[in-house]
Structure 1
Amino acid sequence: MKINALRSFKWVSSSLALCILVILVLLPLLLIFWTSIYSGQKLDITAPLRTITGNSGLMKVLLNSLGLGASVVALTTVFALPLAWIMAKSDIGRHAWLDVVLLIPFMTPPYIGSMGWMLFMQTGGYMEQVLPSSAALTPYFFSYGGMVLIMSLHLFPFLYLLLRNALLQIGGGLEEAASVHGAPFFYKVRRVIVPLLLSSYGLGVLLIFVKTIAEFGTPATFGRKIGFYVLTSEIHKYISSWPIDFGKATSLASLLLGVCLILWYIQTIISSRYSYRLVGGKGIRSKHYAAKGALGFFSWGYIVLLLLASVGVPYFSIITASLLKLRGEGLSWGNLTLSHYAELLSPGSPGLQALINSFSLAIVASSIAVILGTWLALIIGKGTAWRQKWTDLFSLLPNTVPGIVLVVGLILLWNARWMPVPLYNTYGMVVLTYVVLFLPYTVQYVKASYGQIDSSLMQAGQVFGGSKAYVFRRILLPLILPGMAAGWMMTFTISGRELVASLLILPPSMQTSATYIFAQFEQGAVAMGMAMAVISVGVTTALLLVIQYLSPDRKRRQL
């Protein structure tokens, strides 16, 4: 009887979890496709394609997105590949702090990074104030090439980590085997390293391409300034500016979603078919080159230049802009002030209210996401039933589709006339959107923690008389708590700076830190916007460091 009751409970739980994910994730995406192919009178499957091909402006937007993705992939490769080789194959890679610093660009919100570059390179900007002769570079920067540069500097850490890890997996034994047989250096690179690196590079390229065409922050700031429009910026325009056109918005969204899903499918094929087992029982012995002389000079010089471009320039501009009394007076000690921070944090100010809104929404959303994500991760567990597989797939779906596409689907669902719950245009709608967008983080972190637990631990607890609640509270929960904490912190950090969802679903007269920064920058109140950027990034970074310091994993390593 107990076994049948347990099976029944598991069946009900897994079915309920699947139903919740269908409503929260799958139904909004299906509504996008349905709205794009059904005009209210007839069903036309080719309607999205005809909408694009029949409008030269929209066709140009599509080509802009695809071309931008390809260009960013190319420049990201130029940045990431030499860096990966330096960190994996030279003794510079022993400096672990470099990996932390190199992740800063990827952890910086794209719209903040692009704003920093615009302040630095604009006419009369900080670069011109330091080097007046650099004014000739301004027209070249504010172009398609400048947009590719900004997005590549944001995304290169992602590809770098993939390539560095792949190079570390290759090890030095394979290269030495080739040398023993008389292979010169470039032959080893061409016949040993490149084929083994190709799988990881292919996956990285697809991910960079998807992230580029799905990005909204940089196109909304830098792209708008140079008149370069992509799918994400056009979708935002059609559903946020009068006259609102959901038909074109859903057509663009369904096309963007289709491209991303195809690329993700290609990624799964590559990862399953074109991978090599390089880790064996003998371990990995990597061959490192001494970074001395010319090699050391060029290696360190490359890293410093890359960090200056990806971290130094944007953060110098952001911090400087937040401290200037008057922009027209330029860089001088007498023109620096903290009054913008005082005004921003003064009681009752719009900036402080936006900051409070951001943190309160992030706290509520991350708390709900960690509870729901933990439940889903435990249901998925190590099972192989079809309900568990589909639950796993749907729980990760928000990470595989562009955020703006999912937000459009949520708007269509919760603003529908037949929807009985009046959630749209409320505080709860914002929380729900954040939870849906960032739920995969908690699911993945808790799944990783749960997957490392041997089932014998729970069985031992039951053998010694512990109830299921006791075993969960005293054995399982402490072991998955680090994953829950990591999921909560990641959701809190990202939702606190989320831009596109906040722009589209915030109730009237309500602002978050991201929309405040965006609005202030657009209206010319740059100092206030950059002060908010410094506080937002500073607070989330400090919280991440505190969580890392207090984490059980860190304490165990110290022991």
Structure 2
Amino acid sequence: MKTTSAKTALPWGMALALILLAVLVLMPLVFILMESVKPDGRWNPLAPLNVIAQSDLSAVFVNSLLLGFWVVLGASLLALPMAFLTAKTELSRHRWLDVVLIIPFMTPPYIGSMGWMLFMERRGFLEQLLPSSEALTPYFFSLAGMVAIMSLHLYPFLYLILRNAMRRIGAGYEEAGAVYGGGFAYRFRRILMPLLLGSYAMGALLVFVKTIAEFGTPATFGRKIGYYVLTSEIHRFTSSWPIDFGKATALASVLLTTCLLFWYIQNVISRRYDYQTVGGKGARLVLMPLKGWKRALAWLYILLLLGASIGIPYFSVIVASLQKLRGDGLSAGNFTLAHYSKLLEPGSPGLDALLNSLWLALAAATIAMLIGLFLSLQIKRANRLGERLTDIFSLLPNTVPGIVTVVGLILLWNAPWMPVPLYNTYGMVVLTYVVLFLPYSVQYVKAAYGQIDGSLASASRVCGGTPWYTVRRVVLPLLVPGMLAGWMMTFTISIRELVASLLILPPSMKVSATYIFSQFEQGEVSMGMAMAVVSVGLTTVVLAIMNHLGADGK
């Protein structure tokens, strides 16, 4: 009987997948590079560097690198002690810490930044609670304050990497050092730290890339203190008159090249300092007891960290949304729910923006889930080259800064020869969300597909099932948890996306993120913060519902 190998089946599917990824992901980046190296119609590979060197934009590039360096340092100082406490001490039994520590990373950075600004500004909440803190305000509204805000947002990313790496290091390594007389500080410096170097390098470089690619905090806090970086300047050149796509693409190509370079460095370092710490005998984990002042100091550090990264931003946002008059501060009787009523009033701009966010996120999440399902199926069926190409291209939006991808999409879909008039329409917004967050759907579905034993499909074929029947009745039901998880992540992030919405939305349309941004910039802080509370609360409810439906795989 003639059989067809799964690795060579449906070649048209792989061709369609590569064409789809080329149009959605690769061509926008190619357009940016082409535009940046041909500013006056002539080919010049050094044109982006010339544009930056011949203007004050070189300072912007240096600002981005400095910000990335300081945020890596700040995130490291926050994450390393926390990772040690939850991996090597008896505090690891408190599993709720792992959940709570993810909240800062899941909070939109522009909302966290606004919360800190409301707390630390003149006559802000800190001064109202502690009038003697007035002297701290000038010091906070500086580069140091910006670094602190971004470090508090990104440290959970580094924390998770370090915590997992520490848990894989068994107690035998440290005990061997203790047998030869090494104290705690010596064992930490000469045994634990070298074994963590590969994981730390990976996490630190990822934090660096995410920092220089971040838009929310530079657009809010950075603009207030006059500290401009690549992302904020790209936005200015593409959204403020006079529009200058030449400088925007030059900055975008430099930012893209820098991020890809650091991704490569991260891969090299990870391979160079990759140590095997888990053997066939397993790893014995001994938890360090914390007694007396050590236990009190550990909990004090945890409470201060949670207060700074979660408590202060959310306190400021919630209180600001409830205030009648900002000038009356925290006085009794100055709180009301009227802003929420006005926000959710039928026909109000706030409710229209929220509904726009909902249907755009629903459409983007559904389309991304279907495309992710198709791509994941092709990855598993492809030969090695097709699998690697599809995998790389589908994950590329997660590597490239979001603002770079958005500028590339504008150049591509606004081209004069483009037969589909998609630019400046709602469809363009959905397409942008799909491209930006496609990697989540692909990764979740691919992970679910990898857990399906091939014997299930073989059993279906033995019983006479056609390939389509096998996919529909065997494979797809088992992929539902991964599909729901990918849908959930895309929906959650789409509904809060700021930079794409600012650059892509039609002029008469607002979504929740742009509504928050515009209200905060125009001084209508209470309305903006009410929208922030509603948006965060809504996404939390969606996450809970999807987890209940099985997105957690249970």
Normalising by structure 1, report the TM-score: 0.97
The AA in structure 1 aligned to 2:13 is S
Q: Deviations over 1:287-330 (max 9, x none)?
A: 21112211101100000000000000000000000000111111
Correspondence for 2:51: 51
Question: Judging changes above 3 Å, is the alpha-carbon distance between structure 1 residues 93 and 7 closer, same or farther for their aligned structure 2 residues?
Answer: closer
Displacement of 1:179 after TM fit? 1.8
The AA in structure 2 aligned to 1:32 is I
Displacement of 1:7 after TM fit? 7.5
Correspondence for 2:104: 105
Question: Judging changes above 3 Å, is the alpha-carbon distance between structure 1 residues 399 and 477 closer, same or farther for their aligned structure 2 residues?
Answer: same
Displacement of 1:452 after TM fit? 1.4
Cα contact 1:52–1:59 (8 A) shared by 2: yes
Correspondence for 1:78: 77
Work out whether 1:428 is the aligned partner of 2:397: no
Displacement of 1:283 after TM fit? 1.9
Correspondence for 1:339: 338
Cα contact 2:7–2:382 (8 A) shared by 1: no
Correspondence for 1:377: 376
Correspondence for 2:23: 23
Matches within 5 A, 1:10-409: 10-55=10-55, 57-381=56-380, 383-409=382-408
Cα contact 1:351–1:532 (8 A) shared by 2: yes
In 2, the alpha carbon distance for the partners of 1:553 and 1:100 equals 14
Aligned residues: 554
Worse overlay, 382-391 or 238-247: 382-391
Cα contact 2:25–2:396 (8 A) shared by 1: yes
Displacement of 1:30 after TM fit? 0.7
Displacement of 1:10 after TM fit? 1.8
* 3-state SS of 1:333 partner: coil
The AA in structure 1 aligned to 2:37 is I
Correspondence for 1:494: 493
Question: Judging changes above 3 Å, is the alpha-carbon distance between structure 1 residues 340 and 203 closer, same or farther for their aligned structure 2 residues?
Answer: same
Matches within 5 A, 1:413-492: 413-492=412-491
In 2, the alpha carbon distance for the partners of 1:401 and 1:83 equals 29
The AA in structure 2 aligned to 1:14 is M
In 1, the alpha carbon distance for the partners of 2:551 and 2:309 equals 32
In 2, the alpha carbon distance for the partners of 1:239 and 1:402 equals 16
* 3-state SS of 1:15 partner: helix
Question: Judging changes above 3 Å, is the alpha-carbon distance between structure 1 residues 306 and 294 closer, same or farther for their aligned structure 2 residues?
Answer: same
In 2, the alpha carbon distance for the partners of 1:80 and 1:144 equals 20
In 2, the alpha carbon distance for the partners of 1:553 and 1:404 equals 30
In 2, the alpha carbon distance for the partners of 1:383 and 1:464 equals 25
Displacement of 1:9 after TM fit? 5.3
Correspondence for 2:514: 515
In 1, the alpha carbon distance for the partners of 2:4 and 2:442 equals 28
Cα contact 1:170–1:278 (8 A) shared by 2: yes
Displacement of 1:61 after TM fit? 0.4
Question: Judging changes above 3 Å, is the alpha-carbon distance between structure 1 residues 7 and 209 closer, same or farther for their aligned structure 2 residues?
Answer: closer
| Stretches (4+) displaced over 4 A | 1-9, 552-555
In 2, the alpha carbon distance for the partners of 1:217 and 1:2 equals 57
Worse overlay, 377-386 or 220-229: 377-386
Cα contact 2:69–2:208 (8 A) shared by 1: yes
In 2, the alpha carbon distance for the partners of 1:81 and 1:26 equals 37
Displacement of 1:18 after TM fit? 0.4
Cα contact 1:449–1:483 (8 A) shared by 2: yes
The AA in structure 2 aligned to 1:495 is S
Displacement of 1:469 after TM fit? 2.3
Displacement of 1:465 after TM fit? 1.9
Task: State, as a whole percentage, how many aligned pairs show the same letter.
Answer: 63
Displacement of 1:149 after TM fit? 0.4
In 2, the alpha carbon distance for the partners of 1:40 and 1:294 equals 67
Cα contact 1:382–1:451 (8 A) shared by 2: no
Cα contact 2:369–2:441 (8 A) shared by 1: yes
Worse overlay, 539-548 or 175-184: 175-184
The AA in structure 1 aligned to 2:329 is G
* 3-state SS of 2:45 partner: coil
Question: Judging changes above 3 Å, is the alpha-carbon distance between structure 1 residues 130 and 6 closer, same or farther for their aligned structure 2 residues?
Answer: closer
Worse overlay, 248-257 or 11-20: 11-20
Question: Judging changes above 3 Å, is the alpha-carbon distance between structure 1 residues 552 and 202 closer, same or farther for their aligned structure 2 residues?
Answer: closer
In 1, the alpha carbon distance for the partners of 2:60 and 2:367 equals 37
Correspondence for 1:526: 525
Structure 1 unaligned spans of 5+? none
In 1, the alpha carbon distance for the partners of 2:186 and 2:382 equals 46
In 2, the alpha carbon distance for the partners of 1:451 and 1:62 equals 41
Cα contact 2:174–2:187 (8 A) shared by 1: yes
Q: Deviations over 1:25-83 (max 9, x none)?
A: 1110011010011134311111000111111x201100000000000001111100011
Question: Judging changes above 3 Å, is the alpha-carbon distance between structure 1 residues 552 and 77 closer, same or farther for their aligned structure 2 residues?
Answer: closer
Worse overlay, 188-197 or 311-320: 188-197
Question: Judging changes above 3 Å, is the alpha-carbon distance between structure 1 residues 2 and 210 closer, same or farther for their aligned structure 2 residues?
Answer: same
Q: Deviations over 1:330-370 (max 9, x none)?
A: 10230110000000000000000000000100000000000
The AA in structure 1 aligned to 2:459 is A
Displacement of 1:474 after TM fit? 2.2
The AA in structure 2 aligned to 1:19 is I
* 3-state SS of 1:381 partner: helix
In 1, the alpha carbon distance for the partners of 2:10 and 2:368 equals 21
Worse overlay, 6-15 or 537-546: 6-15
Cα contact 1:345–1:352 (8 A) shared by 2: yes
The AA in structure 1 aligned to 2:31 is L
Cα contact 2:198–2:272 (8 A) shared by 1: no
In 2, the alpha carbon distance for the partners of 1:320 and 1:285 equals 47
In 2, the alpha carbon distance for the partners of 1:127 and 1:307 equals 17
* 3-state SS of 2:10 partner: helix
Cα contact 1:114–1:221 (8 A) shared by 2: yes
Cα contact 1:323–1:337 (8 A) shared by 2: yes
In 1, the alpha carbon distance for the partners of 2:216 and 2:383 equals 39
Cα contact 2:367–2:434 (8 A) shared by 1: yes
Cα contact 1:128–1:135 (8 A) shared by 2: yes
* 3-state SS of 1:279 partner: coil
Cα contact 2:7–2:381 (8 A) shared by 1: no
Displacement of 1:551 after TM fit? 1.6
The AA in structure 1 aligned to 2:46 is T
Q: Deviations over 1:137-188 (max 9, x none)?
A: 0100001100000000000000000111110001212111222233222221
The AA in structure 1 aligned to 2:32 is I
Q: Deviations over 1:398-441 (max 9, x none)?
A: 00010000000000000000111100000000000000000000
In 2, the alpha carbon distance for the partners of 1:376 and 1:553 equals 21
Query: CA RMSD of the aligned region, Å?
Result: 1.5
The AA in structure 2 aligned to 1:219 is P
In 2, the alpha carbon distance for the partners of 1:170 and 1:4 equals 45
Cα contact 2:481–2:553 (8 A) shared by 1: no
